[in-house]
Amino acid sequence: MGIRPDIHFTESNQITLLKGGEEFFPALINAIDSAQTEICLETYLFSNDSTGQLVKTALCRAAQRGVTVHVIVDWLGTGHQRSRELGNTLMAAGVHFRCFNPWFRRGIARTHRKLFVADRRIALIGGININNDFLAEGRRQSVLTFPRWDFSVEVAGPLVDEIHELMTIQWQRLGKFSWSTRLWMLKKKTKPVSSPQTPILACLAPRDNLFYRSTIQKAYLHAIGNARHRVLLATPYFAPSRKFRNALIEAAKRGVQVTLLIGYGDFALQDAVAHSYYPKLLKHGVRIVEYRKSQLHAKIAVVDHTWATIGSSNCDGLSLFINHEANILIRDVDFSGQLSLAILYAIAEGIAVNQTDYENIPWYRKCWYGGAFFLYSAIMRLIAVEGFM
**Which tens digits make up the pLDDT trace of 255-301?**
999 999 999 999 999 999 999 999 999 999 999 999 999 999 999 99
Do 62 and 163 fall within a single domain? yes
Q: Based on the domain organization, do 171 and 219 belong to the same domain?
A: no
Mean pLDDT computed over 178-203: 53
Q: How many domains does the chain have?
A: 2
Q: Domain containing 318: what range? A: 205-383
Q: Which of 74, 119, 133, 332 is catalytic?
A: 119
Q: Which of 70, 164, 275, 297 is catalytic?
A: 297
d(CA 343, CA 57): 33
Query: Is there a catalytic annotation at residue 297?
Result: yes
Q: Which one of the listed residues 19, 56, 70, 114 is annotated catalytic?
A: 114
Residue 304 falls in the annotated catalytic set:
yes
Is 49 among the residues known to form the active site? Answer: no
299 catalytic residue (yes or no): yes
H or E element at residue 155: strand 151-156
Per the residue annotation, which of 150, 299, 316, 332 is the catalytic one?
299
Dihedral of the alpha carbons of 259, 263, 268, 273, in degrees to the nearest 10: -30
The last residue of a domain, from among 198, 230, 259: 198
Does the residue 88 lie in any domain? yes
Annotated active-site residue 305? The verdict is no
Mean of pLDDT over the chain: 91
Q: Which of 198, 216, 232 is the last residue of a domain?
A: 198
- CATH, residue 186: 3.30.870.10
Percent of the chain with pLDDT over 90: 84
Residues 321-377 have pLDDT tens digits of: 999 999 999 999 999 999 999 999 999 999 999 999 888 889 999 999 999 999 999
C-alpha torsion angle, residues 180, 183, 184, 190 (rounded to 10): 170
Inside any domain, residue 2: no
Tell me the three state secondary structure of residue 143.
strand
Q: 220: number of CA atoms within 13 Å, CB side?
A: 30
Q: Hey, how many other C-beta atoms are within 10 angstroms of the C-beta on 292?
A: 13
Active site residue 119: yes
Model confidence at 43: pLDDT above 50: yes
The catalytically annotated residue of 133, 208, 304, 316 is: 304
Indicate the pTM of the whole model. Answer: 0.91
